[in-house]
Amino acid sequence: MSNEIKSLTKRATAAFGALGLGAALTVAALLAPHAPMAVALTASGGQVQTRAIYMSTSRPGATAQSYLVSFKPATTGTLEGIVVDFCSNDPIAGDTCTAPNGFSVGTPTVNFGATSAGNPTTTGTTALPGTWTPSAAHTNRTLKLDNATGSSLTAGTLYGFTITTVTNPDATNTSPSFYARVLTYATDGTDFTNYDGGTEGTVVDYGGFALSTAATININVKVQETLLFCVVTDTTDPGTAGHTCSDSVYVTGHTPDLTIGHGTNVKIIDNSQIDTATAFMQVSTNATSGAVIRMHAANACANGGLSSDSGTTCAISGLDNTTAGRLVTATPNTGNAEFGLYVGNGYATTGVATSTTNITADPNYHNASNVTEPSTIGGPLTNVNDLWFGLDNTTNSGGVTGTYGDTIATTGGAPCNTTNAHLVFGAIASLTTPAGIYQGVESLIATGTF
């Protein structure tokens, strides 16, 4: 050690004592005059301010990601080159730069448009003036923006541009933190062309950034497919009374055993009027494509009509049509005995805030102009045109008498919640209908498409 350096050490120690920094301080390094350094970077301006890089995701290795680079220049003046260099080692301009494992700016595509306030910067960014051509360097570690004619940037203005082709550093890096440096060049000459970390040459402004990848938070949850369907009968509308299929006690106590007819002690049908009986159906499903409701008639005879001999014959025939129509042309009925179904459109359940109305009746069982139901549930029709009926036994391989029955309504291809609809069965005898007890067993099936 030279005498000069020894003297220097003594004086440094004494200086700290005089400053009152405490006893027993140790000078751990020496100030040694040395040959003028080979300065890797010379900056004529200063450090850019309010600098940040917004990543679209922090997931390691994510591809095709966006990085919004924003900063305020320290210097007003013309620039022809901007470099953004991504490093795993540090953000210090002038240091060498090691690429983070897996990182790439890609064949860079840069969006130079301005961004609005809050998206994501607080005040929004201003677009770089002029035309800038992006390119990659150092195996896609570095983004270079070249403006051959130069554009003037204003100190204190927040500029931004978005690289949209970035691949994040991957998970093999020893630290999720990584860095970037921005350097601006007055010309796109040799220094800009030959840029590398540690050999920046002469720049205008510079600045460092810190970024970080991070693990992804993964949470799994399950939702069950659901379908809840019930058919009941009641003297009052259960939907408007707020009943749902979830109420098993109510459903069990209101099974749809319908009796069609008029009279006080014994209900009969004759040719004098159309008698009705009403059931109510309700559907709830989260099926993405909604549900279809079909009806299958157990009596295969006479279009799924009513039988007094367990289905061998049906003296009261099902209404043989493929579109809704009158049960008979006039009352008293001088034609055939008929049996049919009317299906109403959907309505919500009272008291269920999220109840929906999306049940649409099939046109075979519903005519929009003829939907006037008896004022009393299960009463007679006043006029043959009040309500039109149907009992399709031909569509889809046999209609109501086919294997899967006939479609009577749908939820319109969408989920539904506690949606109700009326099912009005009508019947009228002819002058020659044999006496007897006639029955029909109609099975309703709801099918969800998930």
Partner 1 sequence: MSFWKKIASSLALCLLVICNGSTVATALQSSSATYGIDQAQFGNGGELDACSTTYCSKQTAGETAVGNSASSSYQTQAGGLVTDRQESLQLIVNGTNTDIGTLTTTSTATTTATFSVKSYLASGYAVYTSSPGPQNNGYTMHGMTTAAASSQGTEQFGINLVNNTLGGTCNAPANFGHAATQIPDGSFSYGQAAPGYDTCGLFKYKDGDAIAQSATSSGETDYTISYMFNISALTPGGDYKLQQSIVATSTF
Site for partner 1 in 163-202 (CB under 8 A): 176-177, 179, 198
Binding range to partner 1, per CB under 8 A, among 55-63, 324-332, 424-432, 436-444: 55-63
435-438's contacts with Cβ under 8 Å and 24+ in sequence apart are 436/308, 436/315, 437/308, 438/306, 438/307, 438/308, 438/315, 438/316
Residues 292-331: x where in contact with partner 1 by CB under 8 A, - otherwise, as a string: ----------------------------------------
Per-residue CA distances from 288 to 90, 285, 329, 360, 450 (Å): 52, 9, 42, 16, 5
Nearest CA to 337 among 444, 435, 442, 443?
435
Q: How far is the CB of 12 from partner 1 (least distance, A)?
A: 5
Torsion sign (Cα): 115, 127, 74, 96: positive
Q: Is residue 251 a contact point for partner 1 (CB under 8 A)?
A: no
Q: What are the beta bridge partners of residue 137?
A: 142
- The distance of closest approach from Cβ of residue 448 to partner 1 in the complex, given in angstroms and rounded to an integer, is 9
* Least CB distance to partner 1 at residue 352 (A): 9
CA distance 391 to 109: 65
Q: Which helix (H) or strand (E) segment is 13 a member of?
A: helix 3-18
Out of 86, 185, 209, 438, the residue judged to bind partner 1 by CB under 8 A? 209
Query: Cβ distance 314 to 393 under 8 Å?
Result: no
DSSP state of 74: S
Q: Are strands 126-127 and 177-185 parallel, antiparallel or unpaired?
A: unpaired
258 touching partner 1, by CB under 8 A: no
- Does 42 help bind partner 1 (rule: CB under 8 A)? yes
Closest CB 210 distance from partner 1, rounded Å: 4
Single out the residue of 241, 429, 217 nearest to residue 317, CA to CA. Answer: 429
Question: Per CB under 8 A, does 435 bind partner 1?
Answer: no
Selected binder of partner 1 within 1, 2, 29, 265 (CB under 8 A)? 29
Smallest separation, CB 281 to partner 1 (Å): 16
Q: How far is the CB of 345 from partner 1 (least distance, A)?
A: 19
In the bound state with partner 1, the residue whose beta carbon lies nearer, of 62 and 359, is 62
* CB-nearer residue toward partner 1: 207 or 399: 207
Number of residues that bind partner 1 (CB under 8 A): 87
Cβ closest to partner 1, residue 181 vs residue 326: 181
Q: Which of 6, 15, 330, 351 binds partner 1 (CB under 8 A)?
A: 15
Amino acid letter for position 158: L
The amino acid present at 327, given as its one-letter code, is L
Closest contact distance (angstroms) between CB of 30 and partner 1 is 8
* Residue closer to partner 1 (CB basis): 19 or 435: 19
Q: Whole-number minimum distance, CB 49 to partner 1, in Å?
A: 7
- Does the protein bind partner 1 through residue 154 (CB under 8 A)? no
State which of positions 336-365 bind partner 1 (CB under 8 A).
Answer: 354, 356
Question: Is residue 95 a contact residue for partner 1 (CB under 8 A)?
Answer: yes
CA distance 274 to 342: 13
Angle at 329 between CA 325 and CA 335, to 5 degrees: 115
Based on the shown chain and the rule CB under 8 A, indicate whether residue 416 belongs to the binding site for partner 1: yes
Minimum CB separation of residue 407 from partner 1 in Å reads 22
CA angle 28–31–34, rounded 5-degree value: 135
